[in-house]
Structure 1
Amino acid sequence: MSAAAPTHLVGSINQPDAESVFRLVADRLEHVPRIPDGEVGERYYWIQFQTLRFDETPGLERVGEPGYRIRDTFDVRQFRITGDVVLPELGYAAAAIESYERFAALQASGIIAQGTRFQVSLPTPIAIVGAFIDAASRAAFEPIYRDAIKAELERILTAIPHDRLAIQFDAAVEFAILERDRKPAVAIEPWWDGAALEGIVERLIEVGSWVPEGVEQGYHLCYGDVEEAHFVQPEDAGSLAAVARGVIAGASRRVDWIHLPVPIERDDAAYFAPLADVEWGETTPYLGLVHHEDGIDGGLRRARAAQAAVPALAAPGAFGIATECGFGRGPAERTAPLLDLHHDLAAALAV
């Protein structure tokens, strides 16, 4: 028997606060190298809370008339630049520093295992610009937000010991750009000169380079999650493989992990086949095999399909497991069973 597959928690976890997340995860998962704080509080709907900051920022204004709001809270209208923009603190650093205090205390008391890292998930600038900024203002706003999120990261790096920290960059809007010709629910044109893929890879490499050696760093690649639905289903892992291949080949530092979504119905080798062209090297791929609807049997079917299509994934410990995306927007009563499913699937893959 080989060791259980490592488990990756993408980010959002439905619990009332960070300490509840830490305690629940530590109680149920033995093979999790990193634990996020669950993106609790205002961050529960990924990046949507950033619009609340933008509403208070001089030089930005909403485009169009009020209408639909996500969960009656988040206005979906975009913003345009009307003057000089100086963004306030974005909230990521403050949340991370506060959550780490609880993480460190629980680790010191033995509740969280020694060697487990505190994971912080940050959006890429593309995510914010593509989702929330009017097309005519995107090129001008991108460097403004890039500098602001980099400043948040620098505060985190100053406050949290590097050997206890892991940074993940979440890339979802990038695939709304790459898949725009397939008419997804969200289709976004690139705002830079040159090819879409090259521009995306270049930007992902840049944000990864901000993370110093000694801090673990990885990426979550995603096809969106609005009310637990993608903006389009991937035809196969081709676009995911292209991004992973480019980032790993061009990175100036080690990429510790890349998380890849796997739709529940994709237990066919054709979905995974493009991943055979990725030279993973020191990077651990985490496959989103865990779906609450079909449990261990479904996860094993998808795992076996991946191993059949990608010989490099057949070796013991060659990949880890995860859900397709975060699960903070699913019902709270699903959280503990989902963690148990991670544990059971990881053990089953070791047989």
Structure 2
Amino acid sequence: MASIQLQPCGVHLVGSVNLPTTEDVLDRIPPLLSNRLRRLPDGETGKRDHFTAWQRGVFAAAPEAIKRRDPNDQSEIEVPNVTHEQLAMTLAKLPKQLKTQYEDYALDSYALFETRKASGQIPSHTKFQVALPGLVNVVSVLAAPYKLAIEPHYEEAMARSLQRIQDQIRHDELAIQIDVAIEFSFLEGSSYALPYFNPVFPGIIDRLSRFANLVADDVELGFHLCYGDLGHKHFIEPKDTALMVEVANALKKAIRHPIQWIHMPVPIERKDVAYFEPLKNLEFCVPELYLGLVHAHDEGGTRERIAAAQEVVKEFGVATECGMGRTPKEHFATIMEILNSVSSPIV
């Protein structure tokens, strides 16, 4: 088994957790990861466990606008171009103000979080983490002819959701995480999701920074960088961390709000120093870097991945590669055990 130089400090939960209810998440996680969490999400349980798939319901009044996939290879089924008149008719079907419901879930869960924090079940230092997707992660559920037309309406809806969350949750208890996933499909040229704007890289950074800059100055902000988890597979395998570092550097330059944490995935087979080498090119000091190198039933491999990462970067915390919402229920215990075993407390 590889030798870890120093136990990584702290654990980050990406968002979704493979438990039945929010109450289960808030009750079971804190004692399993004692003094290792700076933030606690609600687990994105129920219909939210497949990332943004549930947001299709936002556009239910105009089903023709929703993308369909080939069940055999998950490729997008092409939709013929629509006329201006057809597009106008589709837009007219949608509510004047789209509603994402992210704020509804966040506020309901925060009430449960607050009760448990007051009783001491959740440590006093723990913030309530709300994960919200980068814009393209939802717009990409739409068929190609409708994306650019509907995007501004959805962007406004996300801004309203964020504002309501910030209006009703104490800022010193709130942390916002922006999930960046489909963006990497665009950048890597994966057929899973193709870009609908050009130039791609600046367009991605512009959309993410516009949203990030809506986060209040006294609310923590972090980013989850992701290569997908559909069927427990990436939409494309990352060559190394180079593109994630490039995105992180660009976000830092574009966003006026401080970035408190960044999470990056580490595929199970990547125990080589080369995967982590580009982390040397981060142009700013990330207060909290979390590497998603914990995989179920693989503490030995996890320690090897940690040892390889420590050849490049000394200070980081640990996490799973992605959210656990789609992870088999029977893997929950081993993941918690490994997260706890390979990390040190933050307090």
- The answer to whether structure 1 residue 121 and structure 2 residue 126 are counterparts is no
Deviation at 1:69, TM superposition (A): 10
Normalising to structure 2: TM-score of the pair?
0.88
Mapped partners of 1:25, 1:140: distance in 2: 41
Letter in 2 for 1:225: D
- The answer to whether structure 1 residue 301 and structure 2 residue 308 are counterparts is no
1:73 is matched with which residue?
Answer: none
- The answer to whether structure 1 residue 42 and structure 2 residue 52 are counterparts is no
Q: 8 Å contact 1:78–1:132 — kept in the other structure?
A: no
Could you list the structure 1 runs, at least 4 aligned residues long, displaced by more than 4 angstroms after superposition: 1-4, 76-81
Mapped partners of 1:164, 1:69: distance in 2: 45
Mapped partners of 2:178, 2:46: distance in 1: 19
Letter in 1 for 2:165: I
2:195 is matched with which residue?
Answer: 189
1:342 is matched with which residue?
Answer: 339
Deviations 1:226-281 (A, max 9, x none): 12111111111111111011112332010011110110111111111111110232
Number of residue equivalences: 330
Mapped partners of 1:11, 1:114: distance in 2: 20
Higher relative contact order (CA 8 A, sep 6+): 2
Normalising to structure 1: TM-score of the pair?
0.87
Deviations 1:57-114 (A, max 9, x none): 58x54466x97499xxxxx879984233435421111000000111000000000000
Letter in 1 for 2:317: G
- The answer to whether structure 1 residue 94 and structure 2 residue 104 are counterparts is yes
In structure 2, stretches of 5+ residues that fail to align are none
1:263 is matched with which residue?
Answer: 267
Mapped partners of 1:3, 1:189: distance in 2: 40
Give the alignment's Cα RMSD to 1 decimal: 2.6
Deviation at 1:200, TM superposition (A): 1.4
2:61 is matched with which residue?
Answer: 56
Pick from 279, 292, 300: which aligns with 1:288?
A: 292
Letter in 2 for 1:100: Y
Question: Is 1-10 or 37-46 further displaced after alignment?
Answer: 1-10
Mapped partners of 1:63, 1:95: distance in 2: 25
Q: Percent identity?
A: 37
Mapped partners of 1:165, 1:83: distance in 2: 34
1:31 is matched with which residue?
Answer: 36
- The answer to whether structure 1 residue 149 and structure 2 residue 154 are counterparts is no
2:141 is matched with which residue?
Answer: 132
Mapped partners of 1:278, 1:213: distance in 2: 23
Deviation at 1:307, TM superposition (A): 2.1
Mapped partners of 1:140, 1:283: distance in 2: 38
